[in-house]
């Protein structure tokens, strides 16, 4: 449960503009996302965390985060519908007076990737994977607009233990779909100063070239911090490569 050394070094980077920032992180589990939450906590942020996991491990992690952040609220309720997503964002924005950054963690299970047989299966899986983060993004961006916040939204999609032809095909189509959605959302909300970016699984070209790695939580933490800070004010509408971000930016 301890954060990696490189993530701790990254969190030592002072970004004073993030002190007091109101940060919503969805999809957090005891196995994924803790470094990201800790990075913002160490900057003195207010944390609103959503986890599908109601476990002693999550309770322990929340207690660790509470030692650093200004304030923390944990929602241990799975997001099963678009209505759940809307209620979560509205509750978070109301409780904290708005949102400055949103990070949505979206896992696609290896079992689901291996089970696809037809084009319809691929379309259905991608639609299911992106439906809730798309709704979370739209509602969060609208809340930012209403209170004149120039915020950052980052959608992180991972295909867990991706391997094999089907998983590579899924990753390629998923990257393309995510890129199109991200560009469209960035155009829609850019005039309000709201920046929307994404991280996708490695492409099949990277896999076949032997240079495919999922971004670590430390990498994602570094990227999320940079995008939410002044350094990320000109970055929007991109599917970004987060691998190595902890080394590059810290």
Give Cβ neighbours of residue 209 (< 8 Å, ≥ 6 apart). none
- Within 97-212, where are the H helices? 110-114, 119-146, 164-190, 204-208
Of the candidates 47, 91, 38, 57, the one whose C-alpha atom is nearest the C-alpha of residue 222 is 38
- Within 25-118, where are the H helices? 34-42, 56-66, 82-96, 110-114
Give the whole-angstrom CA distance, residue 99 versus residue 96.
7
Predicted confidence pLDDT, tens digits, the chain (250 residues): 333 333 444 445 679 999 999 999 999 998 889 999 999 999 999 999 999 998 888 889 888 998 888 899 999 889 999 999 999 999 999 999 999 999 999 998 877 777 788 888 888 989 999 999 999 999 999 999 999 999 999 999 988 765 566 777 788 889 999 999 999 999 999 999 999 999 988 765 554 444 556 778 899 999 999 999 999 999 999 999 877 666 665 5
Give Cβ neighbours of residue 230 (< 8 Å, ≥ 6 apart). 15, 17
């Amino acid at each position: 449960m301890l954060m990696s050394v490189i993530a701790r070094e990254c969190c030592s980077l002072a970004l004073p503009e993030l002190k007091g920032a109101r940060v919503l992180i969805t999809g957090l589990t005891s196995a994924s996302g803790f470094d990201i939450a800790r990075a913002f906590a160490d900057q003195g942020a207010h944390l609103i965390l959503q986890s599908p996991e109601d476990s002693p491990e999550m309770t322990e992690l929340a207690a660790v985060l509470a030692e650093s952040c200004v304030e923390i609220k944990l929602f241990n309720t799975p997001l099963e519908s678009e209505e759940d997503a809307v209620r979560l964002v509205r509750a978070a924005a109301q409780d904290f007076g708005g949102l400055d950054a949103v990070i949505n963690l979206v896992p696609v299970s290896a079992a689901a990737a291996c089970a696809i047989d037809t084009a319809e299966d691929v379309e259905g899986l991608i639609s299911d994977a992106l439906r809730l983060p798309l709704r979370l993004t739209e509602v969060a961006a609208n809340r930012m607009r209403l209170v004149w916040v120039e915020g950052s939204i980052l959608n992180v999609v991972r295909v867990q233990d991706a391997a094999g032809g089907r998983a590579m095909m899924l990753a390629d189509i998923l990257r393309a779909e995510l890129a199109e959605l991200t560009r469209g959302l960035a155009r829609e909300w850019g005039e309000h100063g709201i920046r929307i970016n994404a991280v996708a699984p490695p492409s099949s070209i990277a896999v076949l070239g032997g240079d495919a790695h999922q971004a670590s939580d430390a990498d994602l933490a570094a990227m999320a911090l940079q995008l939410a800070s002044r350094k990320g004010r000109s970055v929007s509408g991109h599917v970004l490569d987060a691998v190595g971000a902890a080394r590059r930016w810290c």
